[in-house]
Amino acid sequence: MKLAFQLAYRNLIGAGLRTWLNAGILSFSFIVILFFDGLIDGWNKQGIRDSIDWEYGQGQLLHADYDPYDPFTIDDGHGKIPESERAASVPVLVRQVSVYPEGRMLSVKLSGIEAEQKLLKLPTGQLQKSEAEIPAVIGKRMAKVAQLKVGDRVLMRWRDKNGVFDAQEVTIAGVFSSNVPTVDQGQFWIPIRKLWQMTGLHEEVSYLIQKEPKAVSISGWNYKSQNELLKPFRELIKVERIGNSILFTLLLGIALLTLFDTQVLSIFRRQKEIGTYIALGMTRWQVVGLFTAEGAMYSLFAILLGSLYGIPFLFYMTKAGFGIPEANLQMGITIAERIYPVYGFSLIFGTVLLVVISATVVSFLPARKIARLDPVLAIKGKVL
């Protein structure tokens, strides 16, 4: 076996440019797979962290009639804060209102939240500091759509608990930047006490965000753990991974096809050498092993070559991040403007294993022919 690897090494080095072209193509696939998988891992980690920090906290307790994905439930999906949860969670009341920036009507979700809360990253402290009658904080996406900035006043129209119209100006106390669009798009945040006063829905909330993870069972309320809340995001990442694996298969397929062709050509051109090996006493399978080792060694060269340019590149990307196009940011999914890839041990080890094994298999397939050839004819170069 050692001899096989020594011979394989010499043969590959002797082949010169051909070897490095093959290794280059394979290394490119290797680095691309590592990079994009790292990117997905980075997105996954960032997304989960952001969702917890900005929206989910340690879990939520939703009113039984309230479904955050169904605007039809906003009107009726609220109830009195359960006493047992009062201190353990941050209450949020959601209402549907209209705002009129520069005479345009926009239907938005108005969320009332405790201005003193520290659980979420929402800058509710700006609501406390503001001296406006109705201060509001909005996300940058909402600010862009409504063309609002800090200090602007915008007219808001809402209905109280009896359906009576009211309208008043709201002052933008802060514009925040969040990677979580569900706390931003089409949404205004104001102090919950103000919203209670505006709507007459005193002490009523649509959902509660838990400060500590604790499964609770309260009649009329649905408990959702952090894991349950993150499930849709995880499903999205899963789908992205499947999409990426198709790309990787194609990319790796092209690289392996090149390797396969090289092996076929190599066996064809080296028939006399193969016959000589057998004539000198090597078994046919030892020769097959030699050629397979050569193929597998391509993958090792590819990893070495990839490391030369890949490590600095991948390291740089972990620091600089990968910019996400503006269009993707408007899609309503939790994604940062820049994703910082994460390369875990399992990702690196798994990718190395994938490249080595697939290169070995692809090298073995054409080499199997050697097992059937006649050494005399092989020496004459008349077998294949």
Q: Interface with other proteins by CB under 8 A: which residues?
A: 71-75, 96, 98, 100, 102-105, 107, 155, 157, 159-160, 162-168
- The residue (of 106 and 384) whose beta carbon lies closer to other proteins is 106
Pairing status of strand 221-225 against strand 89-100? unpaired
- Residue 105 vs 279, nearer CB to other proteins: 105
Q: With respect to other proteins, which residue has the nearer C-beta, 92 or 259?
A: 92
Contact 355, 26 (CB under 8 A): yes
Residue 72 Cβ, how far from other proteins at the closest point, in Å?
4
Helix (H) or strand (E) holding 205: strand 204-205
Quick check: 362 and 292 in contact, CB under 8 A?
A: no
Find the shortest distance in angstroms from Cβ 80 to other proteins: 20
Largest CA distance in the chain: 101
Q: What minimum distance in Å lies between the beta carbon of 73 and other proteins?
A: 7
Identity of the residue, 98 or 225, whose beta carbon is nearer to other proteins in the bound complex? 98
Instruction: CB nearer to other proteins: give 195 or 293.
Output: 195
Nearer to other proteins, 156 or 175 (CB): 156
Q: What is the 3-state secondary structure (H, E, C) of 283-310?
A: CHHHHHHHHHHHHHHHHHHHHHHHHHHH
Quote the least distance from Cβ 165 to other proteins, whole Å: 5
Rounded least distance, CB 67 to other proteins, Å: 11
Q: Hey, what are 263's tokens?
A: 């092996």
Residue 275 phi, psi (nearest 5): -60, -40
Please say which residue, 109 or 270, places its beta carbon nearer to other proteins: 109
Residue 201 burial by Cβ neighbours in a 10 Å radius (0-12, 13-18, 19+): buried
Would you list the DSSP string of 295-363? Answer: HHHHHHHHHHHHHHHHHHHHHHHHHH-EEPPHHHHTTSS---SEE-----HHHHHHHHHHHHHHHHHHH
Report residue 176 CA to chain centroid gap: 22
Report the nearest approach of other proteins to the CB of residue 76 (Å).
8
Nearer to other proteins, 102 or 228 (CB): 102
- The Cα 156–Cα 193 span in angstroms is 17
Q: Do 357 and 47 contact (CB within 8 A), yes or no?
A: no
For residue 102, the minimal CB distance to other proteins (Å) is: 8
Name the minimum Å distance from CB 56 to other proteins: 24
The Cα–Cα gap between 124 and 136 comes to 9
Cβ proximity to other proteins: between 21 and 105 the closer is 105
Minimum distance from CB of 108 to other proteins (Å)?
10
- Tokens matching residue 346: 């399992």
